[in-house]
Amino acid sequence: MTDAITARSPREVLVKIFDQVRSASEALAAPFSAEDQTIQSMTDASPVKWHLAHTSWLFETFILKPFAAGYVPFDESYEYLFNSYYNSVGAQYPRAQRGMITRPGAEEVRAYRAHVDKAMVKLIRNVSDNSFAKVRQLVRLGLNHEQQHQELLCTDIKHGLSFNPADPAAFTAPDPVSDDGAPSLGWVRFDGGIAQTGVNWELEEFAFDNEGPRHKSHLEPFRLANRLVTNAEYQNFMEDGGYETAALWLSDGWALVNQETWTAPLYWRSTEDGWSEFTLHGRAPITPHAPVTHISFYEAAAYAAWTGKRLPREGEWEVAASPQLIEGNFLSPGTSPHPTTVNGSKAPLRQMFGDCWEWTQSSYSPYPGYRMPPGAVGEYNGKFMSNHMVLRGVSCATPEGHMRASYRNFFYPQQRWQFSGIRLAEDG
């Protein structure tokens, strides 16, 4: 944050950050036509236009309506159309049919955002001192929520555009990176013992409720791989019959392999010239030493079994990541998000942040002492603590600043459309 910003009042600092995050969403959506912004390629994905409207809905619903006296909603029907899953607020339009919402159009959604933005800035500047702390807390939640949707916007439109046989580019290709190999796969050992994990609220300005409370965890001695698994290494697994060897797979994963006829990561295609993958800058040859991505938990676990290793537990990952500098390949405005080869970092553990989310073997469940926040806000994370697996480390589509060692992402084990990859672990 610049000196010019920090010199301002807390209200003006919040206005500035609010404007930066909201503008970043507009910039991400700018390359997409009205037709692009309406497509929904599967239930898990949402249209670009819906992301832009839903993030505005959250500010309107959780902040403007309760705190802004005299606030007039842009359109009362939006409370139903753009409610994602908050039962405490009311009914929701069916998730699988979001692509059917051709109206409001993209221009009207932009007008909705402008309406909400104007009211939010006015509220931040004029809300009573007694209410400012609560409003500030909710604005931070709303901004972090919007950054999550910036990442989802990228992954969802990538899935949608992948069905176009012309392989259209969504963003400008990133600067070319020479694929001159990856460091040899090595191991960093940790002694284990009693560790403190979970967010340290005294050190973080913001964290989601599911990242805490801080608590003690017992860890046996373990080792983590010094980098992510590469495309070339994963291709060796494929060529060795990885997708045809039932013994490597968890039962549900093996059923999916056969049901969905998986033979490679999502977006890969085999041609006479070798493997290629669909990216947000069009179809491109596989970069052998870039991390493999767009794989499910089941594929990650099968690959780990094939190597004789395992996936990390989330407590192990957090202990290893906590001393690391938060540096890596993150979302860069105007450039296609895409994993890249290991950068020039000299850290013992490379790529702990950026490039790919890393599957862990930990199921998503509450930490000891966790209590779901009261009201509709409590539905944000707590009610999903079942049947999901935890991922750590953020990805190339994660906005700068939206990351910390305690961050817990979670997806169903079969899901592949996120930038998800593999870091191996072993006991000892």
Look up the CATH number of the domain holding residue 310.
3.90.1580.10
Residue 270 one-letter amino acid: S
Model confidence at 7: pLDDT above 70:
no
Between the alpha carbon of residue 173 and those of residues 46, 158, 176, the distances in Å are 24, 14, 8
Assigned domain for 174 exists: no
At residue 338, the pLDDT reads: 95
At residue 375, the pLDDT reads: 87
Model confidence at 117: pLDDT above 90:
yes
At residue 160, the pLDDT reads: 98
Q: Residue 346 — very low, low, confident or very high, per pLDDT cuts 50/70/90?
A: confident
8 A C-beta contact, residue 95 and residue 50:
no
Residues 130 and 192 in one domain: no
User: Average of pLDDT values for 154-165?
Assistant: 98
* Distance between CA atoms of residues 311 and 224, nearest Å: 9
Which pair of structure tokens corresponds to residue 304? Answer: 């780990």
Give tens-digit pLDDT for 56-90.
Answer: 999 999 999 999 999 999 999 999 999 999 999 99
Residues 199 and 139 in one domain: no
Bridging pattern class, strands 215-219 and 193-197: antiparallel
Model confidence at 2: pLDDT above 60:
no
Assigned domain for 355 exists: yes
Give tens-digit pLDDT for 260-311.
Answer: 999 999 999 998 889 999 999 999 999 999 999 999 999 999 999 999 999 9
8 A C-beta contact, residue 321 and residue 405:
yes
Residues 151 and 246 in one domain: no
Model confidence at 1: pLDDT above 50:
no
At residue 4, the pLDDT reads: 46
Residues 116 and 212 in one domain: no
pTM: 0.95
Residues 155 and 221 in one domain: no
Q: Residue 5 — very low, low, confident or very high, per pLDDT cuts 50/70/90?
A: very low
At residue 3, the pLDDT reads: 43
User: Which residue, 181, 424, 427, is CA-closest to 306?
Assistant: 424
Residue 240 is part of which domain span? 187-427
Residues 107 and 217 in one domain: no
| Long-range pairs of 257-260 with CB within 8 A, sequence gap ≥ 24 | 257/298
Model confidence at 312: pLDDT above 50:
yes
Give tens-digit pLDDT for 377-419.
Answer: 888 999 999 999 999 999 999 999 999 999 999 999 999 999 9
Number of structural domains, the chain? Answer: 2
